[in-house]
Amino acid sequence: MFNRKDLLGLRELSELEIMTILETAQSMKDKIDNPAKRCQSLKQASIVTLFYENSTRTKMSFMLAGDYLGAMVKDLGVSTSSVNKGEGLIDTGINLDQMGINIMIIRHSMTGAAHILAKNVKANVINAGDGTNEHPTQALLDLYTIMEYKKRFEGLNVTILGDIAHSRVARSNVFGLTKLGANVTLAGPSTLVSNSMKSLGVKVSTNIQDAVSNADVVMGLRIQFERQKAMPFPNLREYSSLFGLNSDILKYAKEDVLVMHPGPVNRGVELSTEVADGKHSVINIQVKNGVAVRMAILKLLVERSI
Ligand code: CP
């Protein structure tokens, strides 16, 4: 059941809509490694990526997801576009609408940018990350990966660790995980996680050992220096020793804990290399699942529109 023009956030999605996306992704996964399974089911769709912020995983996996389903996929190349001559977001979108684009995938530093675009264009809009607000497709691929390994969400203990304050990934995951019945703990230094986040139905901790104890899933997050003016802690070495996830801290989690990270990973800061590459890590699987989830989202949006 998915009947929306746009995918803007997990805050507004129902449990049923989230599960529809995850189940559709399941049917897409074999197209990634097996070119013979790829198809032309979206050959009538034209997709454009508009990334006002840098990306490796999200942009490339959306472009490949469209390719694997036979859509026409183009990148605006924001840094060489008329955005640099002062053209605004709405005018950019209206121009792309006129060129016959069906789906616009936007990443922007401004909270609400995807919502503004969606209100002003005929095309379906997918939020690929807006400021510190939401990154819904990252959370959906995280949910998919958790479901793949744990087979359930109800009662799972999920700890999200790091720069919570500036993380759209954390917010989207909190909306999704709490709707699906998981117990979420947000942890980090007091400069990067606030008690006010308890209003989202989560626990908040500034003690990494407490936060990781009995966890089924630990998700590390990068410190987003680009979104803050002052250093939120004295230096990286101190941050890493107090809040970095290493194999000694991971021993407090359950034996079959999953270690996740949306990427890019700053090795030796939020995760030790030993943990990032260790037996509990599903970080590379998350990347693969991102393609399947994004194929599912494109398919559901196109089926609704055509
Ligand atoms: N996780 C994520 O959004 O990665 P990119 O910034 O590389 O897209």
Query: Given this model, what pLDDT does residue 153 score?
Result: 98
Q: Give the position, in ligand 1's atom list, of the atom nearest the Cα of 61.
A: 8
pLDDT tens digit sequence for 29-86: 999 999 999 999 999 999 999 999 999 999 999 999 999 999 999 999 999 999 999 9
Q: What is the mean pLDDT of the chain?
A: 96
- Ligand 1, atom 3, residue with closest C-alpha: 58
Q: In what order do the strands lie in the sheet with 72-75?
A: 72-75, 46-51, 103-108, 124-130
CA-proximal residue: ligand 1, atom 4 (nearest): 57
pLDDT value at residue 227: 73
Q: In what side-by-side order are the strands of the sheet with 157-161?
A: 203-205, 183-187, 157-161, 217-220, 258-260
The answer to whether the CB of 60 is under 6 A from ligand 1 is no
Q: Is 224 in the pocket of ligand 1 (CB under 6 A)?
A: no
Please give the number of the atom of ligand 1 that sits closest to the Cα of 107.
8
The first and second tokens of residue 173, run together, are: 């995951």
Alpha carbons 79 and 116: distance in angstroms, whole number: 20
Query: So what's the pLDDT on residue 9?
Result: 98
Q: What DSSP string runs through 214-225?
A: T-SEEEE----G
CATH number for the domain running over 15-134+287-305: 3.40.50.1370
Characterize 122-143 residue by residue with b for buried, 16 or more Cβ atoms within 10 angstroms of its Cβ, and e for exposed: ebbbbbbbbbbbbbbbbbbbbb
What are φ and ψ of residue 124, in 5° steps?
Answer: -70, 140
Q: Which of 155-159, 186-190, 301-305 has the lowest mean pLDDT?
A: 301-305
Q: How does pLDDT run across 114-165, given as a tens digit for each residue? A: 999 999 999 999 999 999 999 999 999 999 999 999 999 999 999 999 999 9
pLDDT score recorded for residue 1: 79
Position 306 scores a pLDDT of: 67
The domain spans of the chain are 15-134+287-305, 136-283
How many alpha carbons fall within 13 Å on the CB side of residue 91?
7
Ramachandran sector of residue 18 (left: φ over 0; alpha: ψ -120 to 50; beta: rest) = alpha
Taking the centre of ligand 1 as the mean of its atom positions, its distance from the CA of residue 138, in whole angstroms, is 8
Q: Is residue 56 within 6 Å of ligand 1 at its C-beta? A: yes
- Length of the chain counted residue by residue: 306
Residues contacting residue 258 through CB under 8 Å, at least 6 positions apart = 145, 146, 149, 150, 216, 217, 218, 280, 282
Asked if 15-134+287-305 and 136-283 have one fold, the answer is: yes
Hey, what amino acid is at 75? D
Owner of token pair 């529109």:
305
Record the tokens describing residue 9, joined without a space: 């956030």
Q: Is 134 helix (H, G, I), strand (E, B) or coil?
A: strand
58: Cβ below 6 Å to ligand 1?
yes
Q: What is the pLDDT of residues 228-267, one digit of tens each?
A: 777 777 788 888 999 999 999 999 999 999 999 999 999 9
Query: From CA 283, how far away is CA 262, in angstroms rounded?
Result: 7
Cα 254 from Cα 102, distance rounded (Å): 45
Q: Answer yes or no: is pLDDT of 20 > 70.
A: yes
Nearest atom (ligand 1) to Cα of 263: 1
Query: Whole-prediction pTM value?
Result: 0.97
Write out the two tokens for 50. 């508009």
Q: Give, as one character, the DSSP assignment of residue 62.
A: H
Measured CA to CA, the distance from residue 145 to residue 160 in angstroms comes to 15
Mind listing the pLDDT tens digit for each residue in 203-237?
Answer: 999 999 999 999 999 999 998 877 777 777 778 88
Task: Round to whole Å and give the CA distance between 294 and 63.
Answer: 9
Q: Quote the ligand 1 centre to 242 CA distance (angstroms).
A: 25
- Hey, what CATH topology would domain 136-283 get? Rossmann fold (3.40.50)
How far is Cα 262 from Cα 255, in angstroms, rounded to an integer? 22
Closest residue by CA, ligand 1 atom 5: 55
